[in-house]
């Protein structure tokens, strides 16, 4: 048994995730973690306590339970800062998810800093959430978007990126890990290239945060975003990290309570970051549950999780490669994500048959239609691993694929 498999079986991690069992008590082989991770009982319990006996609003109340909840909410911010190697907790903004984080940067920093003829660089493999906000910004400001191509094995081509950059480039926004191909960006090299022309760089860390050790100083990026539900926490919360000096000069993007210093009908002044960007009652219980999720992941060790999940991806790719009718996409070394197609079988049909076998995969364009166009397919089947995945999930998937091939003959 390899070390990756031993991680799950020695610690019995599957048993800590109540969602990994069907209604009739059978194992559910969940291979859609890249879309959203299952939740450990520790996170469920933290959320339940926060919604129940501990619940109160934050920041405004003078009564003791409100003060305690405020401490818990801000402790979650400090825990995120520690987990990602932020310079200060004031660099951590709670948002609804990575999509909102990217829109915040586009609407606040982008509207204040981009104008006619400026350039934004994206890549072919980006999720729609890292494309559409920049298109909206370009429409409003007159900026233009350049698209960085991929290498033959599905990585962002840094040589091509360098050739795209000019003094007119104001922002580079790239996926740290592709949600379709699992390919890992050399993020520091990309940051160095962006900074060489005076551009800022944003990283979409949705697929990296659950399985890679993060250090904002080492990455040297300017903005970083990830979603709580992909890192074994709840939906409805995410994180935007940005350098404190950048946040200090960014204007608010939403108005309301909590983000103000003083309001009069003549003039309103605003709170400093991060409160300036957290209008309204925040996601209190979600932040506390996110804290629990980060504790859970950190105790296992992100570097070890990366090895575990990438090892399972290598094993699956090897098994799929033995089937003549299967086409694999992306690099052999991926961050726990494997996309493939079976000749003569639509991914949706495969997903339906696998569901009958208690195997859950993702089938479709994965919110990456430009990448599907590049690959020359309308959709792919995607199996994605989590910290709870093991060889039994691969075996169940392969049995389901063999059954599918017999059906479609």
Give me the mean pLDDT over the 283-287 stretch. 97
**Does the domain at residues 3-30+301-408 carry the CATH identifier 3.90.1150.10?**
yes
pLDDT band at 206 (very low <50, low <70, confident <90, very high): very high
Predicted confidence (pLDDT) at residue 5 exceeds the cutoff of 60: no
CA 196 to chain centre: 27
Q: Kindly tell me if the per-residue pLDDT of 12 is higher than 90.
A: no
* pLDDT band for position 7 (cuts 50, 70, 90): low
**Which sequence spans correspond to the domains of the chain?**
3-30+301-408, 46-299
Quick check: do 3-30+301-408 and 46-299 share a fold? no
- Active-site annotation holds for 367: yes
> Is-contact 356 393, C-beta < 8 A?
no
Residue 257 has pLDDT above 80, yes or no: yes
Task: Write down the pTM of the prediction.
Answer: 0.96
Which listed residue (148, 206, 221, 367) is catalytic?
A: 367
Q: Print the SS3 string covering 87-154.
A: CCHHHEEEECCHHHHHHHHHHHHHHHHCCCCCEEEEECCCCHHHCHHHHHHHHHHCCEEEEECECCCC
Distance CA 154, CA 175 (A): 12
Say if domain 46-299 classifies as CATH 3.40.640.10. Answer: yes
Say if residues 404 and 350 touch (Cβ distance below 8 Å): yes
pLDDT > 70: what percent of the chain? 97
- Average confidence (pLDDT) over 22-36: 96
Instruction: Check pLDDT > 50 for residue 64.
Output: yes
Residue found under tokens 């309001």: 263
């Amino acid at each position: 048994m390899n070390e990756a498999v031993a991680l799950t079986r020695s610690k019995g991690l599957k048993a800590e995730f109540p969602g990994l069992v069907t209604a009739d008590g059978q194992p559910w082989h969940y291979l859609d973690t890249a879309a959203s991770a299952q939740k450990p009982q520790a996170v469920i319990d933290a959320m339940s306590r926060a919604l129940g006996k501990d619940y109160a609003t934050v920041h405004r109340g003078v009564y003791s339970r409100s003060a305690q909840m405020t401490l818990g909410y801000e402790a979650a911010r400090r825990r995120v800062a520690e987990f990602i190697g932020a310079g200060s907790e004031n660099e951590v903004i709670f948002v609804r998810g990575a999509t909102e984080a990217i829109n915040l940067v586009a609407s606040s920093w982008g509207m204040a800093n981009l104008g006619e003829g400026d350039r934004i660089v994206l890549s072919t493999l980006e999720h729609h959430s890292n494309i559409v906000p920049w298109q909206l910004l370009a429409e409003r400001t007159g900026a233009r978007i350049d698209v960085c191509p991929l290498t033959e094995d599905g990585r962002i081509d840094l040589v091509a990126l360098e050739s795209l950059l000019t003094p007119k480039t104001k922002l580079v926004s790239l996926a740290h890990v592709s949600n379709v191909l699992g390919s890992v960006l050399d993020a520091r090299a990309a940051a160095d290239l962006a900074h060489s022309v005076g551009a800022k760089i944003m990283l979409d860390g949705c697929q990296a945060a659950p399985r890679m050790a993060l250090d904002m100083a080492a990455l040297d990026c300017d903005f970083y975003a990830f979603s709580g539900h992909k890192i074994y926490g709840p939906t409805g919360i995410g994180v935007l990290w940005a350098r404190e000096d950048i946040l200090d000069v960014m204007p608010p993007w939403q108005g309301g309570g909590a983000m103000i210093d003083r309001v009069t009908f003549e003039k309103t002044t605003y709170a400093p970051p991060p409160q300036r960007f957290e209008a309204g009652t925040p996601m209190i219980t979600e932040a506390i549950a996110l804290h629990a999720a980060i504790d859970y992941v950190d105790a296992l060790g992100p570097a070890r999780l990366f090895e575990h999940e990438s090892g399972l991806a290598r094993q699956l790719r090897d098994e799929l490669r033995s089937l003549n009718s299967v086409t694999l996409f992306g690099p052999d070394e991926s961050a726990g994500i494997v996309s493939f197609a079976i000749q003569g079988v639509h991914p949706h049909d495969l997903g339906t048959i696998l569901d009958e076998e208690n195997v859950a995969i993702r089938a479709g364009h994965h919110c990456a239609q430009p990448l599907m166009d590049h690959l020359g397919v309308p959709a792919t089947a995607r199996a994605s691993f989590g910290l709870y995945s093991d060889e039994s999930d691969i075996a169940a998937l392969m049995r389901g694929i063999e059954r599918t091939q017999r059906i479609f003959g």
